[in-house]
Amino acid sequence: MTTLLIYKALHLFFMVAWFAGIFYLPRLFVYHAQTQSPDCDQQFKIMERRLLYFVTPFALLTLVFGGLLIYSYGLAWFKFSHWLHAKLLLVFLLYLYHGYCFKLLADFKNNNNQRSARFYRIFNELPVLVLLAVVLLAVLKPF
């Protein structure tokens, strides 16, 4: 078993764990935006905060092991892996998405949500599309 395979396995594991949260958190936002109950409002605030703080280390570990993979393959490989450059751009957008979730969390926490449940439904679909593109790039390596 090589170090490279261990890095790859850990990168994939932490990515899956991260995405479990990234897929579920906006769904909580949908339900939170629809609630009128103060008790439910408080429960959603707790659930959203715990979930985002739970999956954030997974996002960071995904980055660490992805970086170790790139480092292990070497600079020459990285230079000619144009598919990876496109993938990294999409991954960067996912990290921006993740960061924006902290802003949305703060809006709910401060009772300052200005977004509709419909917005959050659409927002919930974005990482699904990006993940599809990332997986296709990583598997097919089209360029």
pLDDT 10s per residue in the chain (143 long)? 699 999 999 999 999 999 999 999 999 999 999 999 999 999 999 999 999 999 999 999 999 999 999 999 999 999 999 999 999 999 999 999 999 999 999 999 999 999 999 999 999 999 999 999 999 999 999 98
Report the pLDDT value the prediction gives residue 102, as an integer from 0 to 100. Answer: 98
Report the pLDDT value the prediction gives residue 19, as an integer from 0 to 100. Answer: 98
Identity at 70, one-letter amino acid code? I
- Return the DSSP state at 37: -
Report the pLDDT value the prediction gives residue 46, as an integer from 0 to 100. Answer: 98
Report the pLDDT value the prediction gives residue 35, as an integer from 0 to 100. Answer: 96
Report the pLDDT value the prediction gives residue 124, as an integer from 0 to 100. Answer: 97
Report the pLDDT value the prediction gives residue 128, as an integer from 0 to 100. Answer: 97
DSSP E strands: which ranges in 75-133?
A: none
User: Helix or strand or coil: residue 115?
Assistant: coil
Report the pLDDT value the prediction gives residue 7, as an integer from 0 to 100. Answer: 98
**Reported pTM:** 0.95
In degrees rounded to 5, what are phi and psi of residue 39? -65, -45
72-78 contacts at long range (C-beta below 8 A, 24 or more positions apart): 72/3, 72/4, 72/7, 73/4
Give me 75's structure tokens: 């600079």
Report the pLDDT value the prediction gives residue 44, as an integer from 0 to 100. Answer: 98
8 Å CB contact between 78 and 40: no
- Return the DSSP state at 44: H
Q: CA 134 to CA 111: how far, in whole Å?
A: 35
Provide the b/e sequence for 2-20 (b: ≥16 CB within 10 Å): eeeeebbebbeebbebbbe
